[in-house]
């Protein structure tokens, strides 16, 4: 099926790129504190988090980000240990892996991993090719250029049941909750932030905004998938409805035989849009900071090589041995793949709120410690986004000169509770940050979310 082929091709692209990237909205410093740094991260780390923090005191006039790399992915219905046990084969004792055949109890166990009627999987990766933050007497200026590759999959339990057990007579399979979206975009962001001090040495306010040109290189997304079918337990006749609509567009890289040696890092975009990040932050007595931001306001218009797949029909197969009826069914499920002038998709708009206490500047007790919290909420389920609430609680300790340690706990998301850990290395003007927001993925196979974030910068 055309849409199935593109579905898995897009997903494999995400998986291949995932080994070399870091989401734009996540700095390694914030990841190490369980993504609680909305009010704490400054300089180039503030891009995609809170543009107001570009104007916050950072101790440097110019900050340059050096190609941060990383990956984050997660699922709420399959941990890595289960994947290894059932889907990587069985070692025959010689180092070769043989196929593992699922038993009925295995299938029941796998379906029981779904907490409800759906399971979710996400991958969110990216990298900044360039990131610069400059502070001046009239405000802070910033610029970045970065790519983002992301995918969200919502899989209905009925669909998983159908894959594992086949077409069970007497069952009605409903795929209406299955959704998939993936995209590859590039952002050119220009930021400005300003700080004002209503009460000197007591209260300061920061306001910031980032305007960005967004280029789209690939997109696949289902608008709806409400297909259902039932097999009669007595006659084995299959009746159902095919109701699906999906949009996709891709550069020449996706529409011809892929030659990795001919890959063009600056392909012609198939979609263009504009985005906006807005942020505000306030600091009291240099130690208490509260900030909020809304990121990725806007949309992309996919107006080149745009196509739509539409399937809308009712079907009946009263003889599964009839090749013509079966062939007709596949045609109905495939739908019609037609060229369209354009379609539009929203950016992954999200809200962030955070607060932090920096004991390094505390007025009567000073310690090399900062504590932070943040709340995140997406407004859609576009690639890389989630409508689930997430709360991060974390801290940063600088008791070891030049080696800040970070940790925290994340509540919500695909794994209910995750413990983060990160470390920094500071050598004069150079800083390297390494972090993961789920440290259990390093020591155990019983994890369903994993990440690795690397960030480095030069400060002058």
pLDDT-derived band of residue 182, with 50, 70 and 90 as boundaries? Answer: very high
What is the β-pairing status of strands 179-199 and 97-98? unpaired
Sign of the C-alpha dihedral computed for residues 175, 177, 182 and 185 taken in this order: positive
Q: What is the pLDDT of residue 248?
A: 92
For residues 334 and 214, the model is more confident at: 214
Q: How far apart are CA 215 and CA 88, in angstroms?
A: 37
Distance CA 438, CA 121 (A): 16
Tell me what pLDDT residue 261 has: 55
Domains of the chain (ranges; CATH) run 2-78+113-459 (2.40.160)
Q: Which CA distances in Å does 327 have to 5, 47, 324, 397? A: 18, 52, 5, 65
What pLDDT is recorded for position 6?
40
Q: How far apart are CA 180 and CA 152, in angstroms?
A: 6
Question: Per the structure block, which two tokens stand in for 331?
Answer: 């045609």
pLDDT, tens only, 373-417: 999 999 998 988 888 889 999 999 998 888 999 999 999 866 778
**Across 205-218, average pLDDT:** 96
What are the phi and psi torsion angles at 176 (to 5°)? -65, -20
User: Which range scores top for mean pLDDT: 6-15, 73-82, 324-333?
Assistant: 73-82
124-146 average pLDDT score: 91
| pLDDT > 90? residue 241 | no
Percentage with pLDDT > 90 across the chain:
39
Q: At which residue do the structure tokens 């995932």 appear? A: 18
Segment 141-154 shows an average pLDDT of: 92
Q: Which residue has the tokens 């920061």?
A: 206
On average, the pLDDT of the chain sits at 84
Q: How far is CA 303 from the centre of its chain?
A: 24
- Min mean pLDDT across 12-16, 225-229, 349-353 is at 12-16
Assess whether pLDDT exceeds 90 at residue 317. Answer: no
Mean pLDDT, range 31-43, rounded to an integer: 89
Contact between residue 227 and residue 333 where contact means Cβ atoms under 8 Å apart? yes
Judge whether residue 256 has pLDDT over 60.
Answer: no
Q: 3-state DSSP call for residue 6?
A: helix
Output the six-digit token pair for 301. Answer: 């218009």
Q: Cβ atoms within 10 A of the Cβ of 442, count?
A: 11
CA dihedral 45, 48, 52, 55 (to 10 degrees): 30
Q: Lowest mean pLDDT: which of 83-97, 132-146, 406-420?
A: 83-97
What letters, b where the CB count within 10 A reaches 16 and e where it falls short, cover 35-62?
bbbbbbbbbbbbbbbbbbbbbbebebee
414 in the Ramachandran plot: left (φ > 0), alpha (ψ -120 to 50) or beta?
alpha
Ranking 90-99, 169-178, 209-218, 232-241 by mean pLDDT, the lowest is 90-99
Range name among 116-130, 239-253, 291-305, 319-333 with the lowest pLDDT average = 319-333
Please, which pLDDT band fits residue 247 given cuts at 50, 70 and 90? very high
pLDDT of residue 252: 63
Cβ distance 374 to 338 under 8 Å? Answer: no
The answer, yes or no, to whether residue 352 has pLDDT greater than 90, is yes
List, in sequence order, every residue forming a beta bridge with 20; answer none if it has no partner: none
pLDDT value of position 10: 41
Contact 58, 42 (CB under 8 A): yes
């Amino acid at each position: 099926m055309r849409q199935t082929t593109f579905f898995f091709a897009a997903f494999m692209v995400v998986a291949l790129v995932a080994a070399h990237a870091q989401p734009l909205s996540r700095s390694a410093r914030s990841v190490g504190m369980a993504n609680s740094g909305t009010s704490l991260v400054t300089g180039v780390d503030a891009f995609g988090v809170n543009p107001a923090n570009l104007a916050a005191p950072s101790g440097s006039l110019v900050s340059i980000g050096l190609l941060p790399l990383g990956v984050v992915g997660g699922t709420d219905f399959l941990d890595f240990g289960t994947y290894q046990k059932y889907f990587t084969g069985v070692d025959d004792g010689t180092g070769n892996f043989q196929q593992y055949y699922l038993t009925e109890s295995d299938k029941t166990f796998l379906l029981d991993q779904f907490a409800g009627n759906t399971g979710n999987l996400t991958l969110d990766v990216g990298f900044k090719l360039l990131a610069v933050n400059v502070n001046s007497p009239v405000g802070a200026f910033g610029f970045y250029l970065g790519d983002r590759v992301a995918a969200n999959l919502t899989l209905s339990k009925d669909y998983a049941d159908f894959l594992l057990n086949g077409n069970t007579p007497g069952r009605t399979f409903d795929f209406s909750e299955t959704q998939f979206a993936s995209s590859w975009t590039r952002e050119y962001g220009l930021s400005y932030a300003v700080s004002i001090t209503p009460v000197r040495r007591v209260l300061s306010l920061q306001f910031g905004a980032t305007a960005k040109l967004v280029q789209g290189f690939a997109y696949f997304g289902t608008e709806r998938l409400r297909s259902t079918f039932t097999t009669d337990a007595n006659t084995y006749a299959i009746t159902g409805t095919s109701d699906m609509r999906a949009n996709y567009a891709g550069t020449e890289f996706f529409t011809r035989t892929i030659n990795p040696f001919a890959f063009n890092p600056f392909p012609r975009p198939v979609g263009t849009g504009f985005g906006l990040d807005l942020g505000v932050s306030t600091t009291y007595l240099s130690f208490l900071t509260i900030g909020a931001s809304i990121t990725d306001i806007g949309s992309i218009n996919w107006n080149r090589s745009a196509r739509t797949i539409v399937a809308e029909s009712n079907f009946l197969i009263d003889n599964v041995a009839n090749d013509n009826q079966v062939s007709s069914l596949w045609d109905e499920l495939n739908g019609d793949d037609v060229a369209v002038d354009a379609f539009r998709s929203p950016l992954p708009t999200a809200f962030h709120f955070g607060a932090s206490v920096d004991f390094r500047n505390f007025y009567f007790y000073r310690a090399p410690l900062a504590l932070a919290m943040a709340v995140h909420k997406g407004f859609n389920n576009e690639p890389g986004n989630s409508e689930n609430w997430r709360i991060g609680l974390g801290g940063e300790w600088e008791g070891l000169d030049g080696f800040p340690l970070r940790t925290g706990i994340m509540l919500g998301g695909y794994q209910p509770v995750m413990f983060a850990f990160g470390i920094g290395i500071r050598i004069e003007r150079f800083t390297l940050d390494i972090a993961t927001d789920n440290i259990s993925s390093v020591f155990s196979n019983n994890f369903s979310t994993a990440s690795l974030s690397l960030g480095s910068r030069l400060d002058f």
